[in-house]
Structure 1
Amino acid sequence: MAGSSKRTMALAFAMAVNCQADAPEGQEWPDSPCGICASCVRFQRGSHPDLTEVNLETQAAALGEAGKGKSGPAKELRIDAIREMQANVGLSPHSARWKIYIVGDADKMNEEASNALLKTLEEPPAHTIIILLAPDEMSVLPTISSRCFLLPLRSMSRREVARALVQKWGAERDEAELLAALSGGRLGYAVRLMEDRESLERRRSALQELSVLSGAHINDRVNTAGRYAKMFTESRPALYEMLQDWEGWWRDVIAVRAPAPELVVNIDQMQALESAARKHSSGSALAAIKLIQDTRQQLLENVNPRVALEALALGMK
């Protein structure tokens, strides 16, 4: 959620309504945030006292172990997170025109959380704006969506994302095109990737792992599975991220075979993907994807990680 385009737009709106730049005649705030006033800078940094974000990640941070699931943040937004927001929602803004609450993962609210939030939406405090982020209006309760102003968003094209990265964030053309492909049309996520070099390096390492594993002997595969089991014990999110990268690779193999090169995500790996597409049928690529998905589900269900990951390592060919 932290990197989604919905969140990017929500923050841009929060900046605009609180921007200290001169507004056109008859308007309370400028059409777009200046990005350089004290208010805009603090919103950009996420340090403005009148900005509160509520999502699965902030819930996990606030509630500790109680806010976590088996593989990271819990999968539902609970009433405790909403109540914590409501404890301060009635207070006047500290220094901004409007207090902003961004409820990410609004589609993940359980029934208790939704009903609690409904009371605030029915009688919103003065000078307070509550923004709910969800995939679509049908993913939240009708009683919630009926009390909101709905603003549908579309994904940007790869070309639009790449152009924005070059023009506004100073990315190189090749880098911008890769980030645009990896982001799936989510500008906010593309910007986060550009700023998080470690994430890009982890992706490259994951794809290198898959390449080495595919050509390894049985004994090496078994040993590698042991290393993955240790990774799972030490950092489950890291292992799940690697599996996600592997799944994306095999989807790209299918796209190359189609052929549908415009759907390829790992565009910096085209030579290796074309080689893999010559060696593997679409059926074998689909089987690899299913094996990865089954392994992920087994790990979530607490199957012995060494057993599950050994089967995965032996099946990646």
Structure 2
Amino acid sequence: MTSPALAPVPWAEVWGQDTAVRTLQAAASDPANLAHAWLITGPPGSGRSTLAYAFAAALIAHSSDDVDTMQQVLARSHPDVTALRTEKVIITIDEARALVERSYFAPSAGRYRVLVVEDADRMTERTSNVLLKALEEPPERTIWVLCAPSDADLLPTIRSRVRTLRLKEPEVADVAELIRLRTGATPEVAEQAARHAQRHIGMAQRLATDESARLRREQTLRAVLSVRGVRTAVDVAGHIVQAATDDAKALTTEQDDADRASLLRTMGLAEGDPVPPAVRSQLALLEEEHKRRARRGLHDGIDRVLTDMQSLYRDIVMLQLGRSDSIINRELLSEIEQIAQAWTPQRTLTVLDHLAHTRQSLQHNVAPLLALESLLVTVSSGRKP
């Protein structure tokens, strides 16, 4: 494992992916190794986007000594790197079309123009088809870098036009050590955060530095364990949705306020000034964007809860199969053991199946509250409603 502090720019923030780094370094330095389109896959928190921008920086810079250019790319401020990371549930066709149009511009200052799609798994089939021609016949000196959890998340027609680079999943101990070095957390807190985050580096960092997030996670899982019937299933589902809504609001309010203030400054207005009619339409568009961001924040928050629930029922089925060496939720071991003894493995697997189905349904704009109520009824009964 390479220490980030010892790695050269632009690879300093890439952690635990030495094989992938060597592959991309070779591609950036030798056109014979350089595919025109790449797909970087790996589990959440494995560093897909970090690696994508490091690769973009190495491609755009004129040499390994061109640190200023690389730092610009890493800051997302260089004109030859264009990124698409949607704050909505899906990437829209219009966003994809705008990116494709951008791909036909020649590099303005660097060696290549690089287009990074951070959330390629959020493209529908129609949106993916917009990219096909650009991936088939890219302009000279244009490189595409797509990121997704798995190549199975993309259409076969997309997969056939890219070179796939699969990242490895880090070990809990390695993530804990990284979090300890980055945040100054105690070894105990860092280990618990890495374990509860299931080795997702970003989520582990948040858990290690936010005591309220750690407490909210524990309270939510204890509430799920307390579900005994339809009434408690409905109550707990409402609690989860409300907590996710509050969490999303806390994360987006500051950014929303900054966006609004920036727009007003651009128009020569201060907060509290009368808003001219000509500016009202732009504010209305900004507010719509904020609503879309809030919806994605809510969906992401609920998905994190579902991921935590999957870890809980995964622990239960592991105990039922006689495995106790890799329990994620050790702090709830007593409650987990009780359920493992009371349930059959088939019942636990039914809950896990419905959990996976619920996560998939939420990606297609199913109402979160209804989806969670249905899921928790399954939890309480062992049967899908």
TM-score normalised by L of structure 2: 0.55
In the alignment, which residue of structure 1 is the partner of 2:195? 181
Shift of 1:295: 6.8
CA contact (8 A) 1:5 1:189 kept: no
2:134 is the alignment partner of 1:104: no
Shift of 1:80: 2.2
2:149 is the alignment partner of 1:119: no
| Shift in CA distance, 47/313, structure 1 to aligned 2, threshold 3 Å | farther
CA contact (8 A) 2:93 2:126 kept: yes
Shift of 1:310: 7.7
- Say which of 55, 58, 61 aligns to 1:13: 55
Shift of 1:9: 1.7
In the alignment, which residue of structure 2 is the partner of 1:28? 63
CA contact (8 A) 1:156 1:187 kept: no
Q: Distance in 2 between matches of 1:251 and 1:41?
A: 42
In the alignment, which residue of structure 2 is the partner of 1:221? 232
In the alignment, which residue of structure 1 is the partner of 2:84? 54
Which residue identity lines up with residue 84 of structure 2 in the other structure? Answer: V
CA RMSD of aligned residues (A): 4.6
| Shift in CA distance, 46/200, structure 1 to aligned 2, threshold 3 Å | farther
Question: Percent same amino acid among aligned pairs?
Answer: 26
In the alignment, which residue of structure 1 is the partner of 2:175? 161
Which residues of 2 match residues 42-81 of structure 1 at below 5 A? 46=76, 50-55=80-85, 57-58=86-87, 60=88, 73-74=89-90, 77-81=91-95
In the alignment, which residue of structure 2 is the partner of 1:285? 348
CA contact (8 A) 1:78 1:112 kept: no
| Shift in CA distance, 172/39, structure 1 to aligned 2, threshold 3 Å | farther
In the alignment, which residue of structure 2 is the partner of 1:256? 319
SS in 1 for 2:168: coil
Structure 1: give runs of 5+ residues left out of the alignment: 20-26, 61-72
SS in 2 for 1:154: coil
SS in 1 for 2:115: strand
* Partner deviation per Cα, 1:211-245 (whole Å, 9 max, x = no partner): 4x24x7x6972772584597499676345543443
CA contact (8 A) 1:222 1:310 kept: yes
* Partner deviation per Cα, 1:287-317 (whole Å, 9 max, x = no partner): 544565677788866699397478458548x
Which range is displaced more, 256-265 or 141-150?
A: 141-150
Q: Distance in 2 between matches of 1:301 and 1:207?
A: 22
Structure 2: give runs of 5+ residues left out of the alignment: 1-42, 246-294
Q: Distance in 2 between matches of 1:172 and 1:283?
A: 39
TM-score normalised by L of structure 1: 0.64
Q: Distance in 2 between matches of 1:228 and 1:92?
A: 51
